[in-house]
Structure 1
Amino acid sequence: MTNRFAKCLSNDGVCTCALQLSDEFNRPVNCSTLTSKCWMMKNEMFRLKSGIGARRKPTEHAMLDNDGIYDPDCRDDGSFHSRQCNGTSTCWCVNTAGVRRTDKGDENIECPAHPVATFWFQIQLRHKPINEVDEVKLKKAIKDIFAAYQVDPGYIEKIEYLAEDRYITVDLKQNLTVQTPSDLATAAYYLEKDVKGNTLFSSTYNRSIQDDGVPFNGEKLSFEEAYVYYIDSKNPEFSMKRMTPGIIAVIVVVCLAIVAGLVVLFLTRRKAAKAHVYQKAEGRELDEIQKQQLTT
């Protein structure tokens, strides 16, 4: 199965799977394809609130700067509603990947009818040290890994490898000509969870990334870091409140420099204007002196 948290029941020889999203509601899912990111996030929040599973909440005063964990509001097809509130009166707008793209506001915040499309996913993977890396074979292995997450090769625009830092950057872009059972946001979500040791797959599913890595050039290729970056079809709408103090300081310095430049320019022009007036006055005085000399 592609979802270890779904429960499969057999009824008259027909196997059906369901994912629990609340105490009262189980969502039927297809365990032959990846379950949508929205439903998986909602199930994770249900398990956290209910204390189900081995994962536990951190210590009371522990802090984690992670804006991605919340209880989402999902559509019937498993996609995200454009406005999310996490069960509170604080709301914000998200993209199609469920990532916040605006400042947080109240329940009156205006979001588009449909979420802004995330068309580009840039995934950075850092593999653990291995003896020797054949870049051609490495890129082939990466394509095979993404195939395990049901990512069609047509979505893979580019794979870059930085040997010095052991970083692999994979650009995934939406392609209208490609048909796939799973969307890129869900595939990236599964991959990130898997690399961080919290796989969503069941133990019976034959996937590429295992806890001890994947076979590669006679060795095991495994990863120690995974970062997913989202690029939307429209720029995010964050205000100055979201900017870090460092960025704000740079903006203030630039503004002060501009103001200082304008002041210098004003004083320079004012000085030049005074000099010009003085030159004119001096010229008129000379003219008067010359006239008096001629008359005498």
Structure 2
Amino acid sequence: MRVLGFLVLALCSLAAWALNDGEKDCEMCLTNQFAKCSGSECKCTLKLDQDVTQPVDCKKLTPKCWMMKNEMYRKKNNIGTRRKPTEHAMLDNDGIYDPDCENDGKFHAKQCNGTDTCWCVNTAGVRRTDKGDKNIQCSELVHTFWFQVQLRHKPMDKAIDEDKLKDAIKKMFSGYMVDSGYIEKVEYFEDDRYIIVDLKQNLTVSSPTDLATATYYLEKDIKGKSLFSNTYNRSVQDDGMPYDGTKLTFEQAYVYYIDSKNPEFSMKGMTPGIIAVVVVVCLAVVAGLIVLFFARRKAAKSHIYQKAEGRELDEIQKQQLTT
């Protein structure tokens, strides 16, 4: 009996050692530092909620919706240590929320962030309507087909060569698995140190990642909060993007989203700044109409025009209002 007990204990110890050893030998998920890889087959999963894990493919970038959900899970559970950001890191204004995701990682058209307040989003997960209650109707997930990335770099000791810059930008996006066929235009504004990259969906190009996810990963890298593991050979490191034998470091990064359908914001949902612009435009139109009225009146008195058509002023007003 003692021998049998010893054998059972030895087998259990061996099984436990093999299991632990198998987990220890699993490599990190290169494209997602928050994924955990374990088991004899080293399958990698991402924590989306307390009792929800999502299998991920570490040969691809993890969809933006899952990454946002994982970030909210870590925030709510105080997982991860805070560190002082790098000197060029910026405040994260990504508008993070806890999204509802489809089984394939796409965003649900309707998002509520776990509350009774809901809104509609595009395929990039960006809000495109006013916020309402749970009865708000989001009939479709509107497609975001155009991404405009605006990057502002720090001053350089030498002038920027635009051709070399464009090549560096293409190499940078290849690190985020974006085919160069998606890059429609790269513009450089020397005075402001701005680089503007237009990325558009192209049905003739096959890419292993979607543009919403790629630009999300890029933003995180520039802000010093990379989603990649430390061993992933990404283009944008803490000290900048490789360019002509040196590094181009960014101090600002913005991503603008253009959908296949216009957003549905009401005047009530506009910010004071936007409302102010609308008021200024309206005042300018009114002022223009007043000037036009007195100019025509003066012209009529001096007999420059014999007679104005009754509909002419109406048409001019319509044109000015539409512009």
Q: TM-score range by the shorter chain?
A: 0.7 to 0.9
Letter in 2 for 1:81: H
Deviation at 1:15, TM superposition (A): 2.1
Please say if residues 126 and 226 of structure 1, whose CA atoms lie closer than 8 Å, have aligned partners that are also in contact.
Answer: yes
The AA in structure 2 aligned to 1:6 is A
CA displacement, residues 197-248 of structure 1 (integer Å, 9 cap, x when unaligned)? 1000001111111111233222222211110000000100000012233443
Change (3 A) 1:108 1:21: same
1:218 matched residue in structure 2: 245
2:148 equivalent to 1:122: yes
Matched, 1:80 2:107: yes
The structure with the largest alpha-carbon Rg is 1
For 1:6-85, list aligned pairs within 5 A: 6-11=35-40, 14-55=41-82, 66=93, 68-85=95-112
C-alpha separation in 2, matches of 1:129 and 1:256? 38
RMSD, aligned α-carbons: 2.5
| 1:55 Cα deviation after fit | 3.8
Equivalents in 1 of 2:82, 2:205: separation in Å? 37
Does 2:212 correspond to 1:174? no
Q: Unaligned regions of 5+ residues in structure 1, if any? A: 57-63, 273-296
- Once the two structures are superposed, the pairs formed by residues 98-117 of structure 1 within 5 Å of their partners are 98-112=125-139, 114-117=140-143
Distance 1:193 1:103, change over 3 A: same
Output the amino acid matched with 2:147. F
Q: In the superposition, relative to structure 1, how do residues 175 and 17 fare at CA in structure 2: closer, same or farther (>3 Å)?
A: same
TM (normalized to structure 1)?
0.80
How many pairs are equivalent? Answer: 257
TM-score, normalised with respect to structure 2: 0.74
Distance 1:220 1:251 in 2: 42
- How far, CA to CA, are the matches of 1:256 and 1:212 in structure 2? 47
One-letter amino acid matched to 2:75: L
SS of residue matched to 1:141? helix
Q: Which amino acid aligns with 1:2?
A: T
Amino acid in structure 1 at the alignment position of 2:152: R
Q: In the alignment, does 2:230 pair up with 1:200?
A: no
The letter for the 1-side match of 2:38 is: L
After the TM superposition, which residues 112-151 of structure 1 pair with which residues of structure 2 at under 5 Å, given as runs? 112=139, 114-132=140-158, 133-151=160-178
Most deviating of 206-215 and 224-233: 206-215
Deviations 1:135-163 (A, max 9, x none): 11111001000000000011000000111
Contact 1:130 1:219 in 2 (8 A): no
Stretches of structure 2 lacking an aligned partner (at least 5 in a row): 1-29, 84-90, 301-323
What one-letter code is carried by the residue in structure 1 that aligns with 2:123? T
Distance 2:94 2:116 in 1: 17
Q: Identity, % of aligned pairs? A: 68
Task: Give the letter aligned to residue 3 of structure 1.
Answer: N
Q: Hey, what's the Cα distance between the residues in 1 that align with 2:130 and 2:221?
A: 30
